[in-house]
Amino acid sequence: MAKHRKTEHYTPWQKVAWILVPTIAFGGLWFHKLGLLLIPIMATLIVLGFRNGKYWCGKLCPHGSLFDLVLGPYSPKSKSLGFLRSPWLQGGFFVFYIFMFIRRLVRVIPLFGSMAFWDRLGFLMAVNYLMPTLIGSTLALLIGRRAWCSICPMGTMQKISHRLGRITGLNTATDTRVTMVHPTACRNCGLCQKVCPMGITLPVQGQLGSAECIKCETCVFSCPVGALAMQTARSATESPKARGAVSHYDNVIPDEIKEVSSNR
Protein backbone atom coordinates (compact mmCIF):
# COMPACT_ATOMS: atom_id res chain seq x y z
CA MET A 1 0.00 0.00 0.00
CA ALA A 2 1.32 3.45 -0.89
CA LYS A 3 2.24 5.81 1.89
CA HIS A 4 -0.46 8.37 2.64
CA ARG A 5 0.45 11.89 1.54
CA LYS A 6 -0.59 14.99 3.46
CA THR A 7 -3.05 17.26 1.68
CA GLU A 8 -2.00 20.30 3.71
CA HIS A 9 1.49 21.49 4.47
CA TYR A 10 1.82 24.53 6.71
CA THR A 11 5.08 26.17 7.71
CA PRO A 12 5.64 27.38 11.28
CA TRP A 13 4.99 30.94 10.03
CA GLN A 14 1.65 30.01 8.46
CA LYS A 15 0.50 28.43 11.71
CA VAL A 16 0.88 31.70 13.64
CA ALA A 17 0.61 34.41 10.96
CA TRP A 18 -3.16 34.78 11.48
CA ILE A 19 -2.45 36.51 14.81
CA LEU A 20 -1.39 39.60 12.83
CA VAL A 21 -4.91 39.99 11.44
CA PRO A 22 -6.74 40.96 14.66
CA THR A 23 -3.60 42.73 15.88
CA ILE A 24 -3.57 45.12 12.91
CA ALA A 25 -7.24 45.20 11.89
CA PHE A 26 -8.67 45.74 15.36
CA GLY A 27 -5.67 46.77 17.44
CA GLY A 28 -4.87 49.47 14.88
CA LEU A 29 -8.19 51.17 15.58
CA TRP A 30 -6.90 52.09 19.04
CA PHE A 31 -3.11 51.93 18.63
CA HIS A 32 -3.00 53.54 15.21
CA LYS A 33 0.68 53.01 14.47
CA LEU A 34 0.07 49.25 14.28
CA GLY A 35 -1.48 49.96 10.91
CA LEU A 36 1.91 51.11 9.63
CA LEU A 37 2.99 47.45 9.55
CA LEU A 38 1.01 47.19 6.33
CA ILE A 39 3.47 49.43 4.48
CA PRO A 40 6.33 46.87 4.45
CA ILE A 41 3.76 44.10 3.93
CA MET A 42 2.42 45.76 0.78
CA ALA A 43 5.93 46.42 -0.53
CA THR A 44 6.91 42.79 0.09
CA LEU A 45 3.90 41.27 -1.65
CA ILE A 46 4.42 43.49 -4.72
CA VAL A 47 8.06 42.41 -5.00
CA LEU A 48 7.17 38.75 -4.47
CA GLY A 49 4.32 39.09 -6.96
CA PHE A 50 6.79 40.28 -9.58
CA ARG A 51 9.02 37.28 -8.93
CA ASN A 52 6.48 34.50 -8.39
CA GLY A 53 2.84 35.54 -8.80
CA LYS A 54 0.52 35.05 -5.82
CA TYR A 55 3.18 33.35 -3.71
CA TRP A 56 2.43 35.72 -0.84
CA CYS A 57 -1.18 34.52 -0.77
CA GLY A 58 -0.30 30.86 -0.44
CA LYS A 59 2.73 31.01 1.82
CA LEU A 60 2.95 34.24 3.81
CA CYS A 61 -0.41 36.06 3.95
CA PRO A 62 -1.81 36.46 7.49
CA HIS A 63 -5.34 36.47 6.06
CA GLY A 64 -4.57 33.20 4.27
CA SER A 65 -3.44 31.75 7.58
CA LEU A 66 -6.71 32.91 9.18
CA PHE A 67 -8.85 31.44 6.39
CA ASP A 68 -7.01 28.11 6.28
CA LEU A 69 -6.32 27.33 9.92
CA VAL A 70 -8.94 29.22 11.92
CA LEU A 71 -11.96 29.38 9.61
CA GLY A 72 -11.11 26.45 7.33
CA PRO A 73 -12.70 23.77 9.55
CA TYR A 74 -16.01 25.68 9.37
CA SER A 75 -15.90 26.51 5.64
CA PRO A 76 -18.05 24.77 3.01
CA LYS A 77 -16.22 22.23 0.88
CA SER A 78 -17.74 23.65 -2.32
CA LYS A 79 -15.21 25.08 -4.78
CA SER A 80 -17.70 27.00 -6.97
CA LEU A 81 -15.58 30.15 -7.20
CA GLY A 82 -16.03 30.76 -10.93
CA PHE A 83 -18.13 33.92 -10.58
CA LEU A 84 -15.47 35.45 -8.33
CA ARG A 85 -12.91 35.09 -11.13
CA SER A 86 -14.78 37.46 -13.42
CA PRO A 87 -12.27 40.09 -14.66
CA TRP A 88 -15.02 42.69 -14.31
CA LEU A 89 -15.65 41.80 -10.68
CA GLN A 90 -11.95 41.59 -9.81
CA GLY A 91 -11.10 44.79 -11.68
CA GLY A 92 -14.11 46.67 -10.32
CA PHE A 93 -13.35 45.68 -6.75
CA PHE A 94 -9.70 46.63 -7.20
CA VAL A 95 -10.58 50.08 -8.60
CA PHE A 96 -13.10 50.66 -5.80
CA TYR A 97 -10.56 49.67 -3.14
CA ILE A 98 -7.82 51.88 -4.58
CA PHE A 99 -10.24 54.80 -5.03
CA MET A 100 -11.36 54.62 -1.39
CA PHE A 101 -7.76 54.31 -0.22
CA ILE A 102 -6.60 57.36 -2.21
CA ARG A 103 -9.67 59.31 -1.12
CA ARG A 104 -8.79 58.75 2.53
CA LEU A 105 -5.08 59.31 1.91
CA VAL A 106 -5.72 62.77 0.42
CA ARG A 107 -7.18 63.81 3.77
CA VAL A 108 -4.07 62.62 5.62
CA ILE A 109 -1.33 64.06 3.37
CA PRO A 110 -1.75 67.68 4.61
CA LEU A 111 -0.59 66.47 8.03
CA PHE A 112 2.77 65.27 6.66
CA GLY A 113 5.65 66.47 8.82
CA SER A 114 3.76 66.18 12.09
CA MET A 115 3.39 63.30 14.53
CA ALA A 116 -0.33 63.31 13.84
CA PHE A 117 0.42 62.24 10.27
CA TRP A 118 1.73 58.82 11.30
CA ASP A 119 -1.20 58.21 13.64
CA ARG A 120 -3.74 59.11 10.96
CA LEU A 121 -1.89 57.09 8.31
CA GLY A 122 -1.73 54.07 10.62
CA PHE A 123 -5.45 54.38 11.34
CA LEU A 124 -6.16 54.58 7.61
CA MET A 125 -4.14 51.43 6.93
CA ALA A 126 -5.85 49.58 9.79
CA VAL A 127 -9.30 50.47 8.45
CA ASN A 128 -8.28 49.28 5.00
CA TYR A 129 -7.09 46.01 6.56
CA LEU A 130 -10.32 45.59 8.48
CA MET A 131 -12.41 45.42 5.29
CA PRO A 132 -10.82 42.25 3.86
CA THR A 133 -10.88 40.74 7.34
CA LEU A 134 -14.65 41.12 7.65
CA ILE A 135 -15.57 40.40 4.03
CA GLY A 136 -13.02 37.62 3.64
CA SER A 137 -14.14 35.89 6.84
CA THR A 138 -17.77 36.07 5.73
CA LEU A 139 -16.94 34.58 2.32
CA ALA A 140 -14.84 31.87 3.98
CA LEU A 141 -17.81 30.78 6.10
CA LEU A 142 -20.40 31.02 3.31
CA ILE A 143 -18.59 29.98 0.11
CA GLY A 144 -15.10 28.60 0.67
CA ARG A 145 -12.10 29.29 2.83
CA ARG A 146 -10.12 31.01 0.05
CA ALA A 147 -13.03 32.72 -1.72
CA TRP A 148 -11.68 36.14 -0.77
CA CYS A 149 -8.38 35.38 -2.52
CA SER A 150 -10.15 35.55 -5.89
CA ILE A 151 -11.15 39.21 -5.47
CA CYS A 152 -8.54 40.46 -2.98
CA PRO A 153 -7.12 43.81 -4.20
CA MET A 154 -3.68 42.78 -2.97
CA GLY A 155 -3.98 39.59 -4.96
CA THR A 156 -4.89 41.62 -8.04
CA MET A 157 -1.90 43.84 -7.39
CA GLN A 158 0.33 40.76 -7.29
CA LYS A 159 -1.09 39.56 -10.60
CA ILE A 160 -0.38 42.95 -12.19
CA SER A 161 3.16 42.91 -10.80
CA HIS A 162 3.63 39.33 -11.99
CA ARG A 163 2.38 40.21 -15.44
CA LEU A 164 4.97 42.97 -15.62
CA GLY A 165 7.64 40.45 -14.66
CA ARG A 166 6.56 38.13 -17.45
CA ILE A 167 6.45 40.90 -20.04
CA THR A 168 9.97 42.02 -19.15
CA GLY A 169 11.20 38.44 -18.83
CA LEU A 170 12.79 39.21 -15.47
CA ASN A 171 11.02 36.50 -13.47
CA THR A 172 11.62 33.43 -15.64
CA ALA A 173 14.11 32.05 -13.13
CA THR A 174 11.85 32.58 -10.10
CA ASP A 175 8.30 32.01 -11.37
CA THR A 176 7.39 28.51 -10.22
CA ARG A 177 4.22 26.73 -11.32
CA VAL A 178 2.44 23.47 -10.67
CA THR A 179 4.06 21.08 -13.13
CA MET A 180 3.22 17.55 -14.25
CA VAL A 181 6.57 15.85 -13.69
CA HIS A 182 5.29 12.26 -13.93
CA PRO A 183 2.64 12.33 -16.67
CA THR A 184 2.59 8.56 -17.04
CA ALA A 185 1.98 8.10 -13.32
CA CYS A 186 -1.11 10.35 -13.18
CA ARG A 187 -4.36 8.36 -12.90
CA ASN A 188 -6.71 11.36 -13.27
CA CYS A 189 -8.20 10.55 -9.89
CA GLY A 190 -9.17 14.19 -9.32
CA LEU A 191 -7.70 14.37 -5.83
CA CYS A 192 -5.50 17.38 -6.69
CA GLN A 193 -8.50 19.36 -7.94
CA LYS A 194 -10.59 18.28 -4.98
CA VAL A 195 -8.15 19.76 -2.47
CA CYS A 196 -7.29 22.95 -4.41
CA PRO A 197 -8.53 25.87 -2.25
CA MET A 198 -8.90 28.05 -5.36
CA GLY A 199 -10.99 25.53 -7.29
CA ILE A 200 -8.54 25.47 -10.21
CA THR A 201 -8.99 22.77 -12.85
CA LEU A 202 -6.41 20.03 -12.30
CA PRO A 203 -4.46 17.90 -13.07
CA VAL A 204 -2.36 19.78 -15.57
CA GLN A 205 -0.55 18.61 -18.66
CA GLY A 206 2.75 20.45 -18.69
CA GLN A 207 2.52 23.54 -16.46
CA LEU A 208 -0.43 25.28 -14.84
CA GLY A 209 -1.06 28.63 -16.50
CA SER A 210 -3.72 29.99 -14.13
CA ALA A 211 -2.86 33.36 -12.59
CA GLU A 212 -5.18 32.44 -9.69
CA CYS A 213 -2.77 29.79 -8.34
CA ILE A 214 -1.56 30.86 -4.90
CA LYS A 215 1.44 28.49 -4.89
CA CYS A 216 0.22 26.77 -1.72
CA GLU A 217 1.35 23.36 -3.06
CA THR A 218 -1.69 21.63 -1.59
CA CYS A 219 -2.18 19.74 -4.84
CA VAL A 220 1.48 18.74 -4.90
CA PHE A 221 1.44 17.36 -1.37
CA SER A 222 -1.91 15.60 -1.89
CA CYS A 223 -1.00 13.69 -5.04
CA PRO A 224 -0.68 10.05 -3.95
CA VAL A 225 1.60 9.16 -6.87
CA GLY A 226 3.88 12.21 -6.73
CA ALA A 227 2.98 13.33 -10.24
CA LEU A 228 3.09 17.06 -9.49
CA ALA A 229 5.85 19.46 -8.44
CA MET A 230 6.60 23.18 -8.39
CA GLN A 231 9.04 24.09 -11.16
CA THR A 232 10.05 27.06 -13.26
CA ALA A 233 9.43 26.94 -17.02
CA ARG A 234 13.13 26.31 -17.60
CA SER A 235 13.30 23.45 -15.10
CA ALA A 236 10.19 21.86 -16.57
CA THR A 237 11.69 21.98 -20.05
CA GLU A 238 14.98 20.48 -18.97
CA SER A 239 13.49 17.77 -16.74
CA PRO A 240 13.33 14.33 -18.38
CA LYS A 241 10.41 13.47 -16.10
CA ALA A 242 8.36 16.32 -17.52
CA ARG A 243 8.94 14.91 -20.99
CA GLY A 244 7.19 11.68 -20.03
CA ALA A 245 9.77 9.47 -18.36
CA VAL A 246 8.35 6.44 -16.59
CA SER A 247 8.32 6.76 -12.82
CA HIS A 248 8.35 4.15 -10.10
CA TYR A 249 4.73 5.09 -9.38
CA ASP A 250 3.49 3.93 -12.78
CA ASN A 251 2.06 0.63 -11.64
CA VAL A 252 0.76 1.87 -8.30
CA ILE A 253 -2.91 2.67 -7.72
CA PRO A 254 -3.08 3.75 -4.04
CA ASP A 255 -6.20 3.41 -1.91
CA GLU A 256 -6.60 7.21 -1.99
CA ILE A 257 -7.13 7.06 -5.78
CA LYS A 258 -9.54 4.17 -5.57
CA GLU A 259 -11.59 5.95 -2.92
CA VAL A 260 -11.75 9.27 -4.76
CA SER A 261 -12.51 7.63 -8.11
CA SER A 262 -15.38 5.62 -6.63
CA ASN A 263 -16.94 8.80 -5.21
CA ARG A 264 -16.76 10.85 -8.40
Domains of the chain in start order, with CATH, are 12-166 (no CATH), 175-263 (3.30.70)
- What is the structure's pLDDT at 78? 63
DSSP the chain: -PPP--S----HHHHHGGGHHHHHHTGGGTSGGGGGGHHHHHHHHHHHHHHHTTHHHHHT-HHHHIIIIISGGGS------GGGG-HHHHHHHHHHHHHHHHHHHHHHGGGTTSHHHHHHHHHHHHHHHHHHHHHHHHHHHHT-TTGGGGT-HHHHHHHHHHHHHHHHT-STTT-EEEEES-TTT-----HHHHH-TT----S-SSB---TT-----HHHHH-TT--EEEEEHHHHHH-TTTTT---TTTT---HHHHHHHHH-
- What is the structure's pLDDT at 231? 94
What would the pLDDT profile of 137-178 be if each residue is shown by its tens digit?
999 999 999 999 999 999 999 999 999 999 999 999 999 999
- What is the structure's pLDDT at 84? 84
- What is the structure's pLDDT at 205? 85
Tens-binned pLDDT, residue by residue, of the chain (264 aa): 344 445 567 899 999 999 999 999 999 999 999 999 999 999 999 999 999 999 999 999 999 999 999 999 999 876 566 788 888 999 999 999 999 999 999 999 999 988 899 999 999 999 999 988 999 999 999 999 999 999 999 999 999 999 999 999 999 999 999 999 999 999 999 899 899 999 888 888 889 989 999 999 999 999 999 999 999 987 777 655 444 433 333 444 444 444 444 444
- What is the structure's pLDDT at 260? 42
- What is the structure's pLDDT at 155? 95
- What is the structure's pLDDT at 24? 96
- What is the structure's pLDDT at 203? 81
- What is the structure's pLDDT at 239? 58
